[in-house]
Amino acid sequence: MKIQTILSPQLFPLFADEVVGKQVVIIDILRATTSMVVMLDNGAIAVKPVEGVEEAMKLKRDNPSLLIAGERNGFKLEGFDFGNSPQEFTPERVAGKSLVITTTNGTQALSLSLAASHIWVGGFLNIDALVEAISVKGEDVFLFCAGWKGHVNLEDTLFAGAVAKSLLLKDFAIADDATRAAMVLWEQAQGDLHGFLSEASHVQRFQSMHAESDLDACLRMNTSDRAVIYEKGVLVAIPR
Amino acid sequence: MKIQTILSPQLFPLFADEVVGKQVVIIDILRATTSMVVMLDNGAIAVKPVEGVEEAMKLKRDNPSLLIAGERNGFKLEGFDFGNSPQEFTPERVAGKSLVITTTNGTQALSLSLAASHIWVGGFLNIDALVEAISVKGEDVFLFCAGWKGHVNLEDTLFAGAVAKSLLLKDFAIADDATRAAMVLWEQAQGDLHGFLSEASHVQRFQSMHAESDLDACLRMNTSDRAVIYEKGVLVAIPR
């Protein structure tokens, strides 16, 4: 099975035909896909990603028990229950609830991928479960980095490299230069991920706006043992 | 001064406004920009890059003394005097001649960059001269990788990393994650560039079609001491 990496949504048109019927992993480490995993891990019944702020607001007007989460340019949205920090989605606040989330980059990448056979959402916090789930499906996989407003970013690229490296041990093969580059970067970064990322542009932007603890939460490895898949419009956790 | 890297023409729209009045370096290591430098180094009077095959043919019909060079998908074009191998452009064949070149990726990246203040074309063979020339102009620089049909490729990314690393010693600063990634990749590759690239997809495609000596010619460092700039529709070499 082949691994390819889409380094930003801007590059997606090159892959649009190829992803049909294949697996796609949506990667938005800071913070959308990390937060999505946390929501489900902490007991949310369902998580629905939507592209537009208006769409999220309308869903809430139609069903006031829904909780809505979201950011634009990294900031929480007016009238929303949550921003996009993984630390907000505590069991106390999300267990038994249905959530809607909209983010700058992550939900856009997801919308582009709807023709895939399986759409995974993941982060460092559930990387082993994600790799296991991809491997069980046994189809070619596209690692789709959400990036930052179309630009390639380091944290999503590094995660793609980490997933690729693990998949190599499970009969997958690298099929493009983007994956090869991501894996070399991961090999350089893995010993000190925090330090390696400290100069990255999105991380600097991020650190100027958010708590350092938010970054830590997004880089922690394997605190969750469930893969998260997008099915019929909502995200669902799959027990290992 | 800032350094940014455009990893493929597909990403160019994100930078279109920013490059206006700034420096751009067009990078197509295998083989367009390497060959352009070789042509001028071996005595060509002028080298005119054009996008279309038809445009090149028409120029030759209008002026039969012109020599036309070009490839599509890596192969020499019917009716052309040269393909795109740097080894073809010997002093015997190009000294005193005017040439026209059209290639799959390199000339497209050049056409996109016309709003820049200075457009450089370079390769490993004239990297030191290129870095010196960029530094003398003292404006922000965009390292524009031609890639392969819109896809990111390793050899162009590595060259961007090599240029960025040298510019850091000349009061330039890295301004995006793409440049940061390219530089880390270059640091890994520089000890054994040939070995590092041996698994790259374009290099494999390349090796199946061309002589190994062609790859060597494209990876050789500093055999030329002149920077090449695009001015009024033609490429010109600048003595150091």
Q: What is the mean pLDDT of residues A196-216?
A: 79
The CA distance from B200 to the nearest CA of chain A, in Å, is: 6
Question: pLDDT tens for residues B15-46?
Answer: 999 999 999 999 999 999 999 999 999 999 99
- The pLDDT of residue A153: 95
At residue B234 the predicted structure's pLDDT band, cuts being 50, 70 and 90, is very high
CB of A63 within 8 Å of any CB in chain B?
no
Q: Mean pLDDT in chain B?
A: 93
Phi-psi region of A74 (alpha: psi -120 to 50; beta: other; left: phi over 0): left
pTM, two decimal places = 0.95
Chain B's closest residue to A154, CA to CA, is: B177
Task: Please give, one letter per residue, the 3-state secondary structure of A83-136.
Answer: CCCHHHCCHHHHCCCEEEEECCCHHHHHHHCCCCCEEEEECHHHHHHHHHHHHH
- The residue that leads in pLDDT, B155 or B73, is B155
Residue type at position A113: S
Handedness of CA B63, B69, B73, B77 (dihedral sign): positive
- Which of A12-21, A75-84, A141-150, B198-207 is least confident? B198-207
Question: pLDDT tens for residues A143-185?
Answer: 999 999 999 999 999 999 999 999 999 999 999 999 999 999 9
- Which of B106-120, B191-205, B218-232 is least confident? B191-205
- The pLDDT of residue B103: 85
Residues A137, B86: Cα–Cα separation, whole Å: 46
Q: Give A215's contacts (C-beta < 8 A, 6+ positions apart).
A: A30, A194, A197, A203, A206, A207
The CA distance from B209 to the nearest CA of chain A, in Å, is: 18
The CA distance from B29 to the nearest CA of chain A, in Å, is: 15
Name the residue facing A152 among B7, B188, B202 (closest C-beta): B7
Q: What is the mean pLDDT of residues B108-116?
A: 93
Size of interface A-B (CB pairs under 8 A): 79
- What dihedral do alpha carbons B15, B16, B21, B24 form, nearest 10°? 60
The CA distance from B93 to the nearest CA of chain A, in Å, is: 35
Q: Mean pLDDT in chain A?
A: 93
Residues B150, A103: Cα–Cα separation, whole Å: 27
Residues B240, B235: Cα–Cα separation, whole Å: 16
Chain B's closest residue to A183, CA to CA, is: B185
Handedness of CA B199, B200, B205, B207 (dihedral sign): negative
- Which of A100-109, A166-175, B195-204 is least confident? B195-204
Question: pLDDT tens for residues B40-86?
Answer: 999 999 999 998 899 999 999 999 999 999 988 778 889 999 999 99
The answer to whether B154 contacts A199, with C-beta atoms less than 8 Å apart, is no
- pLDDT of B161 above 90: yes
Q: Give A232's contacts (C-beta < 8 A, 6+ positions apart).
A: none
Half-sphere exposure of A121 (CA within 13 A, CB side): 34
Chain A's closest residue to B184, CA to CA, is: A185
Q: Backbone phi, then psi, for A48, in 5-degree steps?
A: -110, 115
* DSSP secondary structure letter of residue A151: B
Are B202 and B208 contacting, i.e. CB atoms less than 8 angstroms apart? no
Q: Tell me the C-alpha to C-alpha distance, in Å, between residue B196 and each of B187, B190, B204.
A: 11, 8, 12
- The pLDDT of residue A127: 98
- The residue that leads in pLDDT, A202 or A154, is A154
Listed residue (A41, A46, A6) closest to A129, CA to CA = A41
Are A179 and A11 contacting, i.e. CB atoms less than 8 angstroms apart? no
The answer to whether B178 contacts A152, with C-beta atoms less than 8 Å apart, is yes
Name the residue facing A184 among B180, B185, B201 (closest C-beta): B185
Residues A135, B127: Cα–Cα separation, whole Å: 43
The answer to whether A152 contacts B177, with C-beta atoms less than 8 Å apart, is yes
**Over pLDDT 90: what percentage of chain B?**
84
**Over pLDDT 70: what percentage of chain A?**
99
Residues B237, B240: Cα–Cα separation, whole Å: 9
The answer to whether A11 contacts B10, with C-beta atoms less than 8 Å apart, is yes
Chain A's closest residue to B156, CA to CA, is: A177
Beta bridge partners of B143: B5, B25
Give chain B's count of helices (H) and strands (E). Answer: 10, 11
Q: What is the ipTM of this complex?
A: 0.94
The answer to whether A151 contacts B202, with C-beta atoms less than 8 Å apart, is no
- pLDDT of B202 above 90: no
- The pLDDT of residue B73: 79
Q: Residue window 170-229, chain A: list those with CB within 8 Å of chain B.
A: 174-178, 180-181, 184-185, 188, 199-202
C-beta atoms surrounding A56 within 10 Å: 25
The answer to whether A177 contacts B150, with C-beta atoms less than 8 Å apart, is no
* DSSP secondary structure letter of residue B63: -
At residue B240 the predicted structure's pLDDT band, cuts being 50, 70 and 90, is low
The answer to whether A8 contacts B13, with C-beta atoms less than 8 Å apart, is no
Residues B155, A167: Cα–Cα separation, whole Å: 24
**Over pLDDT 90: what percentage of chain A?**
84
Sheet strand arrangement including A23-27: A75-76, A67-72, A98-102, A46-49, A234-238, A227-231, A118-122, A23-27, A141-145, A2-6, A173-174
Q: What is the mean pLDDT of residues A195-210?
A: 78
Residues of A in contact with B150 (CB under 8 A): 11, 13-14
Chain A's closest residue to B189, CA to CA, is: A184
CB of B10 within 8 Å of any CB in chain A?
yes
C-beta atoms surrounding A211 within 10 Å: 12
For an interface test with A, which of B112, B152, B156, B174 has the most A Cβ atoms less than 10 Å from its Cβ? B152
CB of A150 within 8 Å of any CB in chain B?
yes
Name the residue facing B177 among A154, A175, A177 (closest C-beta): A154
Chain A's closest residue to B10, CA to CA, is: A11
- What dihedral do alpha carbons A9, A88, A34, A70 form, nearest 10°? -20
- The pLDDT of residue A239: 77
Q: Give the position of tokens 């991920």.
A: A193
For an interface test with B, which of A17, A177, A185, A204 has the most B Cβ atoms less than 10 Å from its Cβ? A177
The CA distance from B192 to the nearest CA of chain A, in Å, is: 14
The answer to whether B201 contacts A151, with C-beta atoms less than 8 Å apart, is no
* DSSP secondary structure letter of residue B44: -
- The pLDDT of residue B208: 75
Chain B's closest residue to A15, CA to CA, is: B151
Domains of chain B: 2-235 (3.90.1560.10)
- What dihedral do alpha carbons A113, A118, A123, A127 form, nearest 10°? -150
Residues of B in contact with A177 (CB under 8 A): 151-154, 157, 200-202
Residues A11, B159: Cα–Cα separation, whole Å: 21
Q: What is the SS3 assignment for A78?
A: coil
- Which of A45-49, A57-61, B214-218 is least confident? B214-218
